[in-house]
Amino acid sequence: MAELRYLEDVVTLECDRDRCIGCGMCSVVCPHGVFVLEERKAVMAARNLCMECGACMRNCPSGAITVEAGEGCVRGVINELLGIEGPCC
Amino acid sequence: MNAPATGNSPGMILPMAKEIPSGAGEFRLPSTDQPFVLGTVVTAVGPVPQIGSELFWRDLRGRYLVRWNIGRDCYSVEPGLYALGHPRDDSPVMVTANYKLTFDLLRQTLSGRDLWILVLDTKGINVWCAAGKGTFGTEELLDRIQASRLAEVVSHRRLIVPQLGAPGLAAFEIQKYAGFRVVYGPVLMEDLPAFLENDCRATPEMRIKKFPLKERLVLVPVEVMQGLQQGIPLMLFFLLVAGLAGDGPFLNAALVHGLPPALSVLTGIIAGTIVTPILLPWIPGRPFSVKGALAGLVLFFLVFIVSGADGSGYFMLEPISWLLITLAVSSWLGMAFTGASTFTSLNGVRKEMLRAMPAQFAGLVLGIGLWGASFWLG
Ligand code: SF4
Ligand code: SF4
């Protein structure tokens, strides 16, 4: 089956190598295999597959990961453009 | 029947072992007066409602209605601790949301096993969406552990939490404040038995969220209903305006000039909410708006050319307006499917929308404009 991929170079995911303590939690919780552990440090091996769910950031005990987490849905973005609070689902 | 526990969470004041903030985490077991409760299991803290794996007709009827987007907002179970089968103090504890569909699937999947199910109050919303909102979250889990006096019910200190709940809760905080170790279970519930048998270890494949045809198909009905909700007023608009503004009797004019654009809207709805989700990996283009428009283009030609309704006999502008209408609708509804997909990011959708929405809007306005103009020119 053809691979499902979304847009390239749009996500806000960043990982601070110096703060990483190599616990590996980010690679456990990520549903798209974005992180791998190399030499006891987390590396973003597939950054473009990130869906900005925020699981890695939330579960990183050292605060090494930042991402603008949110649900990527049309209604949510429209609400945001209109300046009203409204969730996706 | 007891009132369901409300999430009067203590803010960031976290409940420590013996310092319970007043109101929060107050001891409470779920009501046994729920249709799926079979009885109770005696524990150190009292009778815990016992449930089975078998679903009854009303469970299945509810599931069917939910799939079709009917009454899906009030489909919940009471949060708290439940016993599946005959669990003991060393049986695993599974954490889940209080969306009835999730709860039912979980007890079905775990059929034949004895374990504890800790249901969080996610306001009847599934794990993934609730985690995004934070209702399936650290505070709620801490409260629920406290309110169920879980530490007295079980002798171990391990919780199995669905991986898709991870955006909402921090495992290291649960460990720190409640003393329970969070083990993230597989992405798919159907992998749970294998996960449990493998000593609660997930294989790398179990950690990846895929979006197979089976899953996309399940989403189609809800997409169709939402598409119809938006599209039917537009279809009525075309029929009504054509009937009133066209030559001859209302019905005749509505059929001649109103039916084709109404069919165009319907074609766009089918392309955006059925064809796009099903053929998602095979339609070229990364943005969903492009996929939707391409699906609309192909379906338009199938419907209008192959069926013989090729617009001959109409002033040329009219068939062009139909195509524009189909493209605008299918592109818009295709783009809306990003909300249900499992690999689109917020910033990606934002970027796509800012580019696609002007085009979709222009297409629709131009389509309606050309269609209107053809009345005077044709
Ligand atoms: S969760 Fe944080 S500390 Fe742990 S490996 Fe990932 S980046 Fe490093
Ligand atoms: S935000 Fe989600 S998808 Fe992106 S890297 Fe983190 S866990 Fe993976």
pLDDT, tens only, B109-128: 999 999 999 999 999 999 99
CATH of the domain at A19: 3.30.70.20
Q: Which amino acid is at A33?
A: G
Domain assignment of residue A25, yes or no: yes
Q: pLDDT per residue over B205-225, tens digit each? A: 999 999 999 999 999 999 999
- Reported confidence tier of residue B19, pLDDT bands at 50, 70, 90: very low
Place of tokens 């597989």: B186
- State which residues form the domain around A43: 14-82
Q: Is A77 within 8 Å of chain B by CB?
A: yes
For atom 1 of ligand 1, which residue has the closest CA? A60
Domain assignment of residue A3, yes or no: no
- Phi first, then psi, for residue A85 (nearest 5°) are -80, 130
How far is Cα of residue B339 from the mean position of the Cα atoms in its chain? Answer: 9
For atom 2 of ligand 1, which residue has the closest CA? A60
Percent of chain B with pLDDT over 70: 87
pLDDT of the residue at B18: 39
CB contact under 8 A, B344 and A54: no
Question: Is residue A15 within 8 Å of A27, Cβ to Cβ?
Answer: no
CA nearest B77: which of B54, B51, B57, B41? B51
Atom of ligand 2 nearest to the CA of A69: 1
Give the single-character DSSP code of B76: B
Q: Which residues pair with B93 in a beta bridge?
A: B116, B159
B37-207 domain in CATH 3.40.30.10? no
Question: Is residue A64 within 8 Å of A41, Cβ to Cβ?
Answer: no
Q: Is the CB of A54 under 6 A from ligand 2?
A: yes
Burial environment of residue B155 by CB neighbours within 10 A (0 to 12, 13 to 18, 19 or more): exposed
- Reported confidence tier of residue B5, pLDDT bands at 50, 70, 90: very low
Domain assignment of residue A89, yes or no: no
CATH 3.40.50.11600: which residues of chain B? 37-207
CB contact under 8 A, A31 and B335: no
Give the single-character DSSP code of B346: H
Report CA(A72)–ligand 1 centroid distance (Å). 24
Quote the CA–CA distance of B266 and B272 in Å, as a whole number: 10
Over residues B337-353, mean pLDDT? 95
CB contact under 8 A, A59 and B352: no
For atom 6 of ligand 2, which residue has the closest CA? A56
Q: With a cut of 70, say whether residue B24 has pLDDT above it.
A: no
Q: With a cut of 90, say whether residue A2 has pLDDT above it.
A: no
pLDDT of the residue at B284: 96
Q: How many residues does chain B have?
A: 378
Considering chain A, what is the average pLDDT of its residues? 92
Q: pLDDT per residue over B262-319, tens digit each? A: 999 999 999 999 999 999 999 999 999 999 999 999 999 999 877 666 666 677 788 8
- Reported confidence tier of residue B10, pLDDT bands at 50, 70, 90: very low
Q: Under 8 Å CB-to-CB from B363, ≥6 apart: which residues? A: B324, B325, B327, B328, B331
Task: Provide the sign of the torsion angle of the four alpha carbons B81, B87, B93, B97, taken in this order.
Answer: negative
CB contact under 8 A, A32 and B343: yes
Q: Which residues pair with B81 in a beta bridge?
A: B118
User: How many folded domains does chain A comprise?
Assistant: 1
- Torsion angle defined by CA atoms of residues B30, B32, B34 and B37, in that order, rounded to the nearest 10 degrees: 110
Distance from the B342 Cα atom to the nearest Cα atom in chain A, whole angstroms = 8
Quote the CA–CA distance of A6 and A51 in Å, as a whole number: 9
Report CA(B242)–ligand 2 centroid distance (Å). 51
Quote the CA–CA distance of B182 and B168 in Å, as a whole number: 13
Q: What is the ipTM of this complex?
A: 0.94
